[in-house]
A and B are shown apart, each in its own frame.
Chain A
Amino acid sequence: MVSGTYLDHAASTPMRPEAIEAMLPFLADHPGNPSGSHGGARVAKTALETARETVAEVLGARPNEIVFTAGGTEADNLAVKGGARAARRRGLDGVVTTAFEHKGVLAAAHRLESEGFRVSEAEVTASGLVDVADLAGKLDSGTALVSVMAVNNELGTIQPLPEVAAAVRATAPQALLHTDAVQAVPWVDVAILAGGWDLVAISGHKFGGPKGVGVLVVRGGVPLDAEIEGGGQERGIRAGTVNVAGVVALATALRVTHEQRSEETRRIGALRDRLRDGLLAAVPGAFVNGAPDSTTAGHLHVGFPGIESEALLVMMDQRELYAAAGSSCSSGATEISHVLVAMGMDRDAATSSIRLSLGYASTDADVDTALAIIPRAVAQLRAPVRK
């Protein structure tokens, strides 16, 4: 049972019971290292490879194209840095991404820039979609890698990856296509949206799996420099003993999510719509950010003019209603979101907006609670104060 009223699924999800059950035997009963050769190791190895097959099937890849990592940020780093560095030996030195990527991609791109790569960030439209024409203008025959997220983590906007791929193939045919699909899995079929992309990153804890486990799909034949070197695990692309329990849980959560996706997105979408309509009706001036026609069923990025999200989130927290604004820096302070800045949103609109994100665990009662708390809290924050 999730404690509090949890509307922060985009940050992390509760683990699915099926995933917890699947991982338990590998925490205590089967300690084998899958790289070993005895019976205990074989049990672990079998579980690992079964999980790999499941993940490959859901993501539209072959099992030997699945690389397990310790999370989405690592998968993004491996794809962006590993892909670009390997491509440099073929004379390619351009990296094109977008201004509103997750920091796991942006920081990796900035690292490449310091190593002499030509890095550019495509602009983002006011509704939170990558400007494909602007991105196309940044491509050339020397482009090594293009990285565009599948779903924006703050807004939930689903990006036009097929259009991006077409533009890249027309102008920069040698470039690798990478997508950070970390936020996409519960809502869209990544095998379709990112069909044919060379590198696809996902993270277990965004869809009912555990934290600290991720996947990078590396299409056959895509050259990639390893970030972490050691015992040659994961075909030498990602050394280190694989987190067997975590991988088993990730695969289970991925399978369940995939099987239930169409049903769940319908159900959650209805909850989200009720939440949105309720807030727009109860809070004068409330506005929704992003592209409503191209947003996941779980995201609601909403602004309340005249208030500061930092104060609103505290008041919500004190009633155990959990949500977020922007991304968090290491100190826990709320930073002005680089996503909203990239969209050209003005400062007041950005600082008055919060992200409510629903997930498979969301219920009607969660929406009722949010609708009981948020409009009252906004009204209090808007009331004139007596000194």
Chain B
Amino acid sequence: MSRVLVAMSGGVDSSVAAALMRDQGHDVTGVTLKLWGGDSDSGCCSVSDVEDARRVAAQLGVPHYVFNFADEFDAKVVDPYVAAYAAGRTPNPCIECNRSMKWGRLLDRARTMGFDAVATGHHARITYSGDGTAELRRGEDPAKDQSYVLSILDQPALAMTLLPVGEMTKADVRAHAQRLGLRTATKAESMDVCFITRGGRKKFLDARITPNPGDIVDTAGAVVGVHDGVRGFTIGQRRGLAVATGERRYVVDVDAATDTVTLGERRDLLCDEIELSRLTVTGTPIANGTSVFAQVRSHGAAHPAVWLGDVLRWETPQPRVAPGQTVAMFDGDRVLGSGIVA
């Protein structure tokens, strides 16, 4: 039996994770993180979610606490999120939250308090190789696999992590919650960034940064329209461009320095390689020349590429990925590591 701290968001996955940990005989403590001090309609921060987690913990007979990490969440997740958009980049705040909050602040506190492991309700699996190396793998349910958002975990983090629902499909998870009579069994999933309120991303950003209007140009540099700030544009975007053109157009470049958004055709998006920064590896460093499958969004397909050290070369050209986005590299179903598009 180990002392396991279960991060309970108030959703069904982490509710079942807590139940499984308890039923496997661990000494379980539940914790909900209060991350966002402002208004929130969804996600892991609202009072009703805390109440759901607390009620599930009570049903399971395990203690439950709330850790208030709101100040650090602001500093480590929200402020960089705003700064990234101001710089014309497209951040992934959920991954930053995993890195600096759940597997940063929470894991540190769990270690300090003498817990043996932290468990979450993520759909991914951790296995161990013969030499005891922890290996992060895709979850059992391909539609719910969350290995992408965990691709920033390193060996010390993985070695202290348990992902009990990674072996189950979402349907299994819900069925298990039903069997246990947990109040979260039929609860809808949170889909959005937890700190973005009903007003939407643009409103959130505009309350924090002053957008500069600028030109929308085509790939030849001709002005085809104007915009009220680059923070509303992401490379690859094709909706909401407010430019009447004959054919289907995509954002192919966002330049915050000149407040310029460039539109082009789909073929203008294609590129041969991506430069990555802030590389993290789950185990040993990825050798130059390693063939990998790279995934550029939470639930997108992985495409073959070769890792060249800081640069990932696609086997066949792929659409550009917005700077600030995370690219996860796989060997089969095993996560090798990830980096952020430079």
Interface residues of A (CB under 8 A from B): 308, 310-311, 314-315, 317-318, 330-336, 380-381, 383, 385-387
Contact = CB atoms under 8 A, between A and B. Distances in A.
A310 B67 CA distance: 7
A333 B108 contact: no
Interface stretch (B109-117, B250-258, B279-287, B290-298): B109-117
A383 B71 CA distance: 24
Contacts of B54: 332
A333 B114 contact: no
A332 B50 contact: yes
A310 to B, nearest CB: 6
Contacts of A318: 29, 63
SS of A interface (majority): loop
B47 A381 contact: no
B180 to A, nearest CB: 23
B156 A314 contact: no
B24 interface: no
Contacts of B94: none
B68 A310 contact: yes
B66 interface: yes
Kindly state the interface size class of chain B when it binds its partner: 20 to 34
17 contacts: A308-B109, A310-B65, A311-B109, A314-B29, A314-B113, A318-B29, A331-B34, A331-B47, A331-B51, A332-B50, A333-B68, A335-B68, A380-B112, A380-B113, A381-B112, A385-B108, A386-B111
B66 A333 contact: yes
Contact of B111 (A308, A314, A331, A385): A385
Contacts of B34: 331, 333
Given A317-B63, A318-B63, A387-B156, A334 B111 contact: no
Nearest to A318: B63
B321 to A, nearest CB: 32
Contacts of A386: 111
A118 to B, nearest CB: 28
B2 to A, nearest CB: 15
Interface string B36-50: 000000000001001
B112 A385 contact: yes
A333 B68 CA distance: 5
B113 A315 contact: yes
Contacts of B70: 333
A387 B109 contact: no
A352 B156 CA distance: 27
The winner among B65, B67, B71, B156 for most chain A CB atoms within 10 A is B65
B338 to A, nearest CB: 20
B113 A381 contact: yes
B264 to A, nearest CB: 46
Interface string B126-156: 0000000000000000000000000000001
Interface string B59-74: 0000101111011000
B114 A331 contact: no
A318 B34 CA distance: 21
Contacts of B66: 331-334
Contacts of B50: 331-333
Contacts of A333: 34, 50, 66-68, 70
Contacts of B114: 380
Interface in B255-274: none
Contacts of B29: 314, 318
A298 B265 CA distance: 73
Contacts of A381: 112-113
Interface string B70-82: 1100000000000
Contacts of B32: 331
A330 B47 contact: yes
Contacts of B111: 385-387
B36 to A, nearest CB: 11
B117 to A, nearest CB: 13
A314 B47 CA distance: 20
Contact of B113 (A311, A332, A334, A335): A311
B191 to A, nearest CB: 22
Contacts of A311: 109, 112-113
A331 B113 CA distance: 22
A327 B66 CA distance: 13
A387 B70 CA distance: 24
Interface string B82-115: 0000000000000000000000000011011110
A311 B108 CA distance: 11
Nearest to A310: B67
A336 B72 CA distance: 13
B28 to A, nearest CB: 12
Highest count of chain A CB atoms <10 Å: which of B29, B51, B112: B112
Contacts of A336: 71
